[in-house]
Amino acid sequence: MASTSFSLAQARGRRVSTSILVTFLGAVSLLVTACGGTSGTGNTTKHTLTAICSVGGSYTENMSPFSPNVNCGVDGLVYENLEYVNGINGKETPMLGTSYTWDSTNTTLTFKTRQGVKWSDNTAFSANDVAFTFNMLKTYPTADGNGLWQHLASVAATDDSTVVFTFQSAFPTDLPFIEGTYIVPQHLWSSIGDPTKFVNQTPIGTGPMKLKNFSPQIISYVKNPSYWQADKVKVDELDYPVVSSNDVALEKMEAGQADWTAIFDPAVNAFVQKDSAHNFSYPVPVVPAQLIPNLKNPLLSQLAVRQAISQALDRHQMSVSGEAGFEPPASPTGLMPGQEAYLSAQYNGTLPSFGPADPSGAETTLQKAGFTKGSDGIYADAHGNKLSFKVTVPGDYSDYVADLQIAQQNLKAAGIDLQLNKVSDDDFRTDRATHNFELLMSGGFFGPTPYYYLQPLLSSTHISGANATNWEQWSDPTTDQLLNQYAATSDPAAQKQAIQGLTDIMAKNLPVIPMLDAVQFFEYTTTHWTGWPTSQNPYAIGSSYQLAAGDNEQVILHLQPAS
């Protein structure tokens, strides 16, 4: 029950967003959108933005930012967080917090909070609200979706504009989660009980929008006149109509009845082509979709086998036929475009790629490692153990299934047998966390730096336990040491160095086999609104559903009515 921040990006599934979303945040809603339209008579023109942020059935009212099924628009637009961290380049923008400092031991974090901010009921905002919010997470661990209180010792406001976070030991990597927590008003929330179950029918926040009306079919917000940078907000009204399917969402976008969405659907290409002057799609790669080998499997634990599998994959075909061209082939380093700064010097600032499918190269790799081809065309080791694997995948994720069917064809050409084991989402997650698979296709966690992807995936501390995320069971002292090096410092240069070491391990040892770059989908039209994030100006991840805390707020601050 995530307060939001960055979390697991895994797969998108059946057409859209349904699965993806859920995966990301637990926010119920998937897509956010805005659509626009201008209405008005005479000299007062009202600018309305219409967003499609979830594809599914009717809304149920959940206006608490700590509800696992929070409604669109609550996160970031009604309630704000301390600092916005851009998920593409890690850039920070002060919001309710204006600055922060770590002490020399990295155990005390001091935030200055913004002055002159008011809740939309005109009560003044202060550092006490921040301290209250974090202490509420301690009282209700259900709401503490990032497990901050595993590391925190105390949170207290020392004056009206200063909050001090004291950690049990050095924990600078918790910073993005603190920055991303939505702050709620103490004067209204001190008696509401469990914030994950609080319906919050009249949400009072500090953000740019306030609730106008909730109905199961449409949620409407209007501009909050007491917002601390209200002059930047040109959106007078923001509507989130319920949209039942991707088809309907795109149809509304084409008809100009919606301005903003985030859906995964092959038909997005057709949508862009229909009016390429106004219709745009800007998917942002966030984390690799990868083939996770079970390293306790005697065959998959051999580097040569993992290398051969990787060599044989036709990532281009997966990208085109399996993912409708939205997801580019992944880099062996596991880094995303935009994270080139974390590459080691050998790459000259260019993300390395896997290159085209090379079945004969894969065969050579296998032969060198002592595998021989059997009469059935499948390689086996000296003891006759065949290279025949089952790959576990959620049956609902139609694009993953397509990718793996392509992988099946690719691997067959290299003498490796692959069988798809399609399971329910629940079984998939259970199998993944309990290492009950041979191969498995999955995304991963991500955050403002590659550390938030690599640490859960590779740290030996995450192999066992209820929250296991080192699914492949990679256990390597060098890796752990590099991860600790990163976590122990708040110095960006030292952190960078640690990540370079980690990405080298990724590329050389293939603890997992990256396939494609999973993206955050984002579609918009410029018919009514301009100023959207673009690849030239990636000021935020554009998706209409909230991914990293504060993305949507940044978009609202940048939008201008089309002339």
Partner 1 sequence: MSQSPLTPLSPALGATEARLPPTAPQPGDTLYRRGSLGAKALAVLRSAWRAIASNRKVAAGTGVIAFFALVALLGPLIIHQDPLKYTLTLNASPSAAHWLGTNQGGQDVFSQLVIGTRSSVFWAFLTGMLVVLISITVGLVGGYMGGAVDDALSLLTNVFLVIPSLPLAIVAVQYFNRSTITIAIVVALTNWPWGARVLRAQTLSMRSREFVTAARASGEKTWRIIFAEIFPNEISIVAANFVTTTIQVLLAVAGLEFLGFGDTNTISWGIMLNQAYSSGALLTGSWWWFAPPGLCIALLGAGLALLNFGIDEVADPRLRVRRRPALLARKKLEAA
Partner 2 sequence: MRRLIRRISIYLLAIWAAVTINFFLPRLAPGDPAKALFFRLSQHGYVNPALLQALESEFGLDTTDPLWLQYLKYLNNLLHGNLGISTSAYPATVAQVINQDIRWTLVLLSISVLISFVAGTLIGVFMAWKRGTALDTSLSAIMTFLYSILYPWLALLVVYFIGFKAGWLPFSDGYDLSLTPGWSLDFILSAAQHAILPAFTIVISTVAGWMLTMRNSMITTLSEDYVTMARAKGLTTRRVMFAYAARNAVLPSVTGFAIAIGSVVGGQLLVEIVFSYPGIGFALYQGILSQDYALADGILLLVIVATVVMNLIVDLLYTVLDPRTRQERSA
Sites of contact with partner 2 (CB under 8 A)? 1-2, 5, 7-8, 10, 14, 18-19, 22-23, 25-26, 28, 56-58, 60-62, 67-69, 141-142, 144-147, 150, 196-197, 199, 215-218, 241-245, 247-248, 251, 396, 424-427, 429-430, 432-433, 466-467
| Beta carbon of residue 295, minimum distance to partner 1 (angstroms, whole number) | 26
| Beta carbon of residue 390, minimum distance to partner 1 (angstroms, whole number) | 12
Considering CB distances under 5 to 8 angstroms, the limit depending on partner class, which of partner 1, partner 2, none binds residue 172? none
Tell me how far apart the alpha carbons of residues 461 and 193 are, in angstroms, rounded to a whole number: 34
| Beta carbon of residue 266, minimum distance to partner 2 (angstroms, whole number) | 16
Considering CB distances under 5 to 8 angstroms, the limit depending on partner class, which of partner 1, partner 2, none binds residue 246? partner 1
Between 392 and 469, CB nearer to partner 1: 392
CB contact at 8 A, 535 and 516: no
- Footprint on residues 217-246 left by partner 1 (CB under 8 A): 246
CB contact at 8 A, 101 and 110: yes
Q: Does 17 bind partner 1 (CB under 8 A)?
A: no
Look at residues 250, 271, 397 and name the one whose alpha carbon lies nearest to residue 322. Answer: 397
| Beta carbon of residue 195, minimum distance to partner 2 (angstroms, whole number) | 11
Q: Does 436 bind partner 1 (CB under 8 A)?
A: no
Between 305 and 458, CB nearer to partner 2: 458
Tell me how far apart the alpha carbons of residues 540 and 550 are, in angstroms, rounded to a whole number: 9
Q: Does 422 bind partner 1 (CB under 8 A)?
A: yes
Q: Does 430 bind partner 1 (CB under 8 A)?
A: no
Tell me how far apart the alpha carbons of residues 7 and 549 are, in angstroms, rounded to a whole number: 11
SS (H, E, C) 347-409: HCCCCCCCCCCCHHHHHHHHHHCCCEECCCCCEECCCCCECEEEEEEECCCHHHHHHHHHHHH
Between 231 and 426, CB nearer to partner 2: 426
Tell me how far apart the alpha carbons of residues 30 and 147 are, in angstroms, rounded to a whole number: 23
Longest CA–CA span in the chain (Å) reads 85
Q: Does 257 bind partner 1 (CB under 8 A)?
A: no
Q: Does 14 bind partner 1 (CB under 8 A)?
A: yes
Which of 424, 434, 464, 478 is in the footprint of partner 1 by CB under 8 A? 424
| Beta carbon of residue 406, minimum distance to partner 2 (angstroms, whole number) | 24
Which of 11, 53, 55, 406 is in the footprint of partner 1 by CB under 8 A? 406
DSSP secondary structure letter of residue 3: P
Considering CB distances under 5 to 8 angstroms, the limit depending on partner class, which of partner 2, partner 1, none binds residue 422? partner 1
Considering CB distances under 5 to 8 angstroms, the limit depending on partner class, which of partner 1, partner 2, none binds residue 97? none
Tell me how far apart the alpha carbons of residues 550 and 545 are, in angstroms, rounded to a whole number: 11
Q: Does 12 bind partner 1 (CB under 8 A)?
A: no
CB contact at 8 A, 541 and 4: no
Residue 45 token pair: 């023109």
- For 107, residues 6+ apart whose C-beta sits below 8 A from its C-beta are 166, 167, 168, 169, 170, 171
x/- mask, partner 1, residues 258-297, rule CB under 8 A, reads -------xxx--xx--------------------------
| Beta carbon of residue 377, minimum distance to partner 1 (angstroms, whole number) | 16
Q: Which residues, in sequence order, are bridge partners of residue 394?
A: 423
Tell me how far apart the alpha carbons of residues 78 and 67 are, in angstroms, rounded to a whole number: 14
Residue 433 token pair: 């966390």
Instruction: Specify the 3-state DSSP secondary structure of 281.
Output: strand
CB contact at 8 A, 525 and 9: no
Instruction: Specify the 3-state DSSP secondary structure of 118.
Output: strand
Instruction: Specify the 3-state DSSP secondary structure of 240.
Output: strand
Handedness of CA 538, 544, 547, 549 (dihedral sign): positive
Which of 93, 123, 321, 485 is in the footprint of partner 1 by CB under 8 A? 321
- Footprint on residues 360-389 left by partner 1 (CB under 8 A): none
Q: Binding segment for partner 1 among 397-405, 430-438, 456-464, 528-536 (CB under 8 A)?
A: 397-405
CB contact at 8 A, 61 and 218: no
Considering CB distances under 5 to 8 angstroms, the limit depending on partner class, which of partner 1, partner 2, none binds residue 261? none
Tell me how far apart the alpha carbons of residues 173 and 451 are, in angstroms, rounded to a whole number: 9
The residues binding partner 1 (CB under 8 A) are 14-15, 246-247, 250-251, 265-267, 270-271, 317, 320-322, 324, 395-396, 398, 401-402, 405-406, 409, 420, 422-424, 427
